[in-house]
Chain A
Amino acid sequence: MDPLRIGVVAIQGDVREHISALGRASESLGIPVKAVSVRRERELDGLSGIILPGGESTTISKLLVRFGLDVAIRRMVRAGTPIMGTCAGAVLLASRGDEEVEKTGTKLLELMPYAVMRNSFGRQKDSFEADLDIVGLDSPFHAVFIRAPLITDAWGDAEVLARFRDDIVMVKSENRLALSFHPELTDDTRIHAMFLNMCLNYSSQP
């Protein structure tokens, strides 16, 4: 079997952690994976999945637009390529943003049916770790929230996979997965494995 080629969008943020988490998830699943970083449009060719990592959503958004990656990513995902966004990545996948998104002129990719609120827990001193129950996982997942966004409203075919308190922190719709926390910062590879399974389904379609 040819390895699944998964691209981590490497404008800025914790790209290396995602690449390493993909490697570990690949081992645990026994699925060969080639994780690559993507900074140019041509590097998107032939990918079986895309990850939008954590980082600063304002910075990532501005540079996605400046270098034309936003259009290319949107086209691929609409054509079926799975995508996973973590933290800043989840902000960018949203259809609607809050005041901060508006004020900074952050251009959302509008790929998922939810509204997002940036920095919704507060500043860095309010960042935290906590356990989450996640649909599809049989034991809690230890999640790291860093200046994390929340999903304030989800509609249409959005399937809520996890909440923290009453708030939505993980959503799936079609070939798209969004999380307001950072599975790439811990050793637990179950969420990356979940995403790799989505990529595997997609790439094994005729």
Chain B
Amino acid sequence: MRRELNLEDMKHGTELVKRGFASMQKGGVIMDVTNAEQAAIAEEAGAVAVMALERVPADIRAQGGVARMSDPQMITKIIETVTIPVMAKVRIGHFVEAQVLESLGVDMIDESEVLTPADPFYHINKREFTIPFVCGATNLGEAVRRIAEGSAMIRTKGEAGTGNVIEAVRHHHLISQMTGKLEMLDEEEFETVIKTYAAPFGRLEKTAREPLWNAPTAQTEVVFNGMTLGEWEDEIRDVLLDIKKRGRLPVVNFAAGGIATPADAAMMMQMGSDGVFVGSGIFKSDDPEPRAKAIVEAVMHYDEPEVIAEVSKGLGDAMPGIEIGDIPEGQRLQKRGW
């Protein structure tokens, strides 16, 4: 039954292969790491993947300035150190940073609001890439737009670097609430949702001619990736119909942004998240190793309070954390992207 290999028979970078990769991460914890040493600790603790970045969100927040893709040398070192998948972040819209990460062999790209956005009008056209992307969302509209652009995984934006889970909870609620509502909409309302969700694709078009006249972007106008607004509406319609049929997003949906304790992680899981990203929460805590392990165990046993109690014992202090109200609106990372 052996036969000649025909490379034409192998299909890489398909939606199935991208979404399939994300599916393998389910029920797992993806940890931010800033060097090979931390990556090894994360792997040993049972992380399903690591997110390689130079500064965790808490430090980016504290230090300010423009945050960009990490040094390829650091990313390569982490790739060489661990056997689990390595993810890394690019700025919103920065497709060349994404090309660079793909060439390094990164397994998944996070187009992330934690870094300073590079394009005020567009997110990356993720369908052009062989490797999958994860993108943040604060509500269903954002999630749907990112999926339409080719994202294979969605995560809540939360408010990164705060150690405060409230924004991740908010975004999770908003996404699920609206997902449930799709069922109840009549045809006309459904069409309004499609138009509303697709409208931001016309931002550049609208902004460019704003001083001249203020008519809405025509459906026949090419707005992004060579597609007209009408064509984007069709894409959005397909994604929404798929969500309505499944009663959930068609891609894996993780919680991220402010998760600091095993109980935070388990709460997001009980609410229906498929897994969690922990950014600053681990390596900004007193004692990262046991905390990393405890969060992994709490995610596996998310609905067993006795286990969560057991793993939470004696972990030392979590990261200090920030009250969201103390962050001026303009400095909230979740406001980046659309």
* CB–CB A12/B26 < 8 A: yes
**For the side of the interface on B, what is the size category?**
35 or more
Please, what's the 1-or-0 string for B1-42, where 1 marks a CB less than 8 Å from any CB in chain A?
111010001111110110011011111100000000000000
**For the side of the interface on A, what is the size category?**
35 or more
Is A155 close to B, CB under 8 A? no
The one of B3, B9, B28, B130 that contacts A59, using a Cβ cutoff of 8 Å: B28
Is A150 close to B, CB under 8 A? no
Which of B43-51, B89-97, B166-174 is found at the contact surface with chain A? Answer: B43-51
Residue of B nearest to A122 (CB): B105
Q: For residue A39, which residues in chain B have a CB less than 8 angstroms away from its CB? A: 300-301
Q: For residue B289, which residues in chain A have a CB less than 8 angstroms away from its CB? A: none
Q: Given A119-B83, A146-B20, are A59 and B47 neighbors across the interface (CB < 8 Å)?
A: yes
Q: Given A63-B300, A119-B83, are A12 and B28 neighbors across the interface (CB < 8 Å)?
A: yes
* CB–CB A144/B13 < 8 A: no
The one of A62, A87, A122, A129 that contacts B46, using a Cβ cutoff of 8 Å: A62
Q: For residue A122, which residues in chain B have a CB less than 8 angstroms away from its CB? A: 105
Q: For residue B147, which residues in chain A have a CB less than 8 angstroms away from its CB? A: none
* CB–CB A123/B105 < 8 A: yes
Residue of B nearest to A140 (CB): B9
Q: For residue A133, which residues in chain B have a CB less than 8 angstroms away from its CB? A: 1, 3
Is B102 close to A, CB under 8 A? yes
* CB–CB A129/B27 < 8 A: no
* CB–CB B105/A103 < 8 A: no
Is B85 close to A, CB under 8 A? yes
Is A104 close to B, CB under 8 A? yes
Q: Given A58-B43, A63-B296, A88-B24, are A124 and B107 neighbors across the interface (CB < 8 Å)?
A: yes
Please, how many angstroms separate the alpha-carbon atoms of A133 and B3 in the complex? 10
Q: For residue A42, which residues in chain B have a CB less than 8 angstroms away from its CB? A: none
Please, how many angstroms separate the alpha-carbon atoms of A13 and B85 in the complex? 13
Please, how many angstroms separate the alpha-carbon atoms of A182 and B20 in the complex? 9
Residue of A nearest to B107 (CB): A124
Is A126 close to B, CB under 8 A? yes
* CB–CB A147/B85 < 8 A: yes
* CB–CB B27/A13 < 8 A: yes
Q: For residue A135, which residues in chain B have a CB less than 8 angstroms away from its CB? A: 1
The one of B1, B24, B102, B300 that contacts A11, using a Cβ cutoff of 8 Å: B300
Q: For residue A15, which residues in chain B have a CB less than 8 angstroms away from its CB? A: 26-27
Q: For residue B315, which residues in chain A have a CB less than 8 angstroms away from its CB? A: none
B263 to chain A, nearest CB (A): 18
* CB–CB A13/B24 < 8 A: yes
Is A31 close to B, CB under 8 A? no
Q: For residue A55, which residues in chain B have a CB less than 8 angstroms away from its CB? A: 24-28, 48
Is A157 close to B, CB under 8 A? no
Residue of B nearest to A184 (CB): B23
* CB–CB A59/B20 < 8 A: no
Q: For residue B47, which residues in chain A have a CB less than 8 angstroms away from its CB? A: 59
Q: Given A56-B49, A147-B107, are A128 and B24 neighbors across the interface (CB < 8 Å)?
A: no
Is B108 close to A, CB under 8 A? yes
Residue of B nearest to A127 (CB): B17
Apart from the given pairs A14-B24, A56-B24, A103-B83, 15 other A-B contacts in the complex at a CB distance below 8 Å: A13-B26, A56-B49, A58-B46, A63-B46, A63-B296, A123-B85, A124-B108, A124-B131, A124-B132, A125-B13, A125-B107, A125-B130, A125-B131, A129-B10, A146-B24
Q: Which residues of A contact B (CB under 8 A)?
A: 10-17, 39, 54-56, 58-59, 62-63, 66-67, 87-88, 100, 103-105, 118-119, 122-131, 133, 135, 144, 146-147, 163, 165-166, 182, 185-186
Contacts A/B (CB < 8 Å), 8 sampled: A11-B300, A55-B28, A59-B47, A59-B48, A123-B79, A124-B21, A129-B11, A131-B9
